[in-house]
Structure 1
């Protein structure tokens, strides 16, 4: 997911430090990754721009020697591994009468009911929450993640505590105050920002949306279990990363979105967390889970998303996929119960 510009910046920095013009200042530079996975995120970027933003299109790429790893040490199921590679490479068998990027979802991993109830059950006692720390439902879009998280919170035992944010605009004038009232600001939730109305319960699984202390492992994407909800403080236990098991205190912070289409800078004072029973596919990249539910109200929309979602686990028995019937996915063939969905692969990047 690292963009080409990141490689250029590091190259220039090392050249300045080492006082020479050799690539990366003459230092050995190691990259690790899998181009079957998701590529750099470009807001409103089309296929061409996303591919151009990839490190493979950096002029320095020709200086790298490519070494390939061939054995999947994470998988415990050979059939699953082989199918996964075909999904990531876009080499699944073509189905007659359907577009080339449409694939069949194997029947053994299909979820035919309500994915929240099938995945979490009808009720979640607080004592059972630790059983779900290595499990998650993945969705393509933030809006789907938010609705799933609220559903799961409703079946979690305990009393809901609501935290409201304080919002303002940087350097606001009288005209801005008239044009952008507080009620309007409260409704906004830019990418990477907590919601104005944050509903939590003790025992809920949450995720950090900002780096709090990188040395202590409190980074953007770290997952935690809520232990206590105070008026101005959240006490939580870390369940992922180097700080796993540690008890931490999360305060309210002043936050501003790093990228936004808004014509002003929104300042929000809120806890930098969000519910994490469900998360976006892009956010899940790099995490290994014991069980995954994939909720597809509509097909994935970017390269590698379906591959990333499926590759969080090790076998067919660890994943369930809920495909919502629609124009582009579901039962696309007449008199046939097979379920299909779209798999986006930019083969030029492979």
Structure 2
């Protein structure tokens, strides 16, 4: 950008981004970037506040104070948080927030069993990247289909996806941003087909829109996996509970922690 805007004014070569205004978003002060297999010092140094351009940034703050209506806050210490009312409106406005993905998975599996609908199982199709094994001279017979099915890479759907009609789910990847189908978008299952899943968006500016989610082939980018493989599965995950990061910018009337 410095090279481009230097054509208009020579002094722009000395300004960050060529003098163009850039807006940085996100809670970079609260949520640090994820750097696998790095120490705390490297993670802190990778944040925006540690960048050499931080001295040229202007911090924007809120000018109005928004208070929470405490009369609407309720607490629950058992499964009744979802079990008492599986109505359509309640499912859209309720969620459980937790810190770790392991806790999220345990809660989702427990509440899915309590959901009063017939379940449908979807198994993924996992395959090795043979070009990678041939190029690196690796014996692909060491990695059977059962090994691939047991892997749970970050940001990837699981091998055995169990869903029920009416269950809240979330997207794991961007599919169609114009239609509101982005990573983290919450939906509610309307119908379960063999090749597609019909769902309704319950979050964002496209609330109420119905869409069809197909199976998509993905290759994980998790560096902890020493080989390359492909998984074909619906990009959905049960979302009774979700991480606090995923809940940002969402409107929820009742939240369990």
State the TM-score, normalizing by the size of structure 1. Answer: 0.65
For 1:258, which of 195, 200, 221 is the aligned residue?
221
Provide the secondary structure at the position in 1 that maps to 2:17: helix
Partner of 2:5: 18
Correspondence 1:40-189 to 2 at 5 A: 40-69=33-62, 71-73=64-66, 75-76=68-69, 113-114=77-78, 117-121=79-83, 125=86, 128-171=87-130, 172-173=133-134, 175-189=138-152
Matched-pair contact (CA < 8 Å) for 2:28–2:47: no
Give the CA RMSD over aligned residues. 2.3
**Alpha-carbon separation, structure 2, partners of 1:61 and 1:26:** 15
**Alpha-carbon separation, structure 2, partners of 1:57 and 1:291:** 37
Asked if residue 247 in structure 1 is aligned to residue 234 in structure 2, the reply is no
Unpaired runs of at least 5, structure 1: 1-13, 78-107, 295-350
Distance 1:239 1:109, change over 3 A: closer
Unpaired runs of at least 5, structure 2: 7-11
**Alpha-carbon separation, structure 2, partners of 1:161 and 1:263:** 32
Provide the secondary structure at the position in 1 that maps to 2:53: helix
Deviations 1:17-57 (A, max 9, x none): 43452212211223345455222122233321221111111
Matched-pair contact (CA < 8 Å) for 2:120–2:162: yes
State the TM-score, normalizing by the size of structure 2. Answer: 0.86
Matched-pair contact (CA < 8 Å) for 2:125–2:232: yes
**Alpha-carbon separation, structure 1, partners of 2:103 and 2:235:** 20
Provide the secondary structure at the position in 2 that maps to 1:235: strand
Q: Post-superposition shift, 1:271? A: 0.3
Matched-pair contact (CA < 8 Å) for 2:95–2:255: yes
**Alpha-carbon separation, structure 2, partners of 1:176 and 1:53:** 37
Deviations 1:218-257 (A, max 9, x none): 1001010000100000010011122211110110000122
For 2:170, which of 200, 207, 219 is the aligned residue?
207
Distance 1:260 1:133, change over 3 A: farther
Distance 1:119 1:27, change over 3 A: same
Deviations 1:4-23 (A, max 9, x none): xxxxxxxxxx3344345221
Distance 1:109 1:237, change over 3 A: closer
Distance 1:110 1:242, change over 3 A: closer
How many residue pairs were aligned? Answer: 245
Partner of 2:21: 28
Distance 1:135 1:110, change over 3 A: closer
Deviations 1:106-139 (A, max 9, x none): xx9875x43xx132125x54xx033121221122
**Alpha-carbon separation, structure 2, partners of 1:274 and 1:248:** 16
**Alpha-carbon separation, structure 2, partners of 1:109 and 1:130:** 17
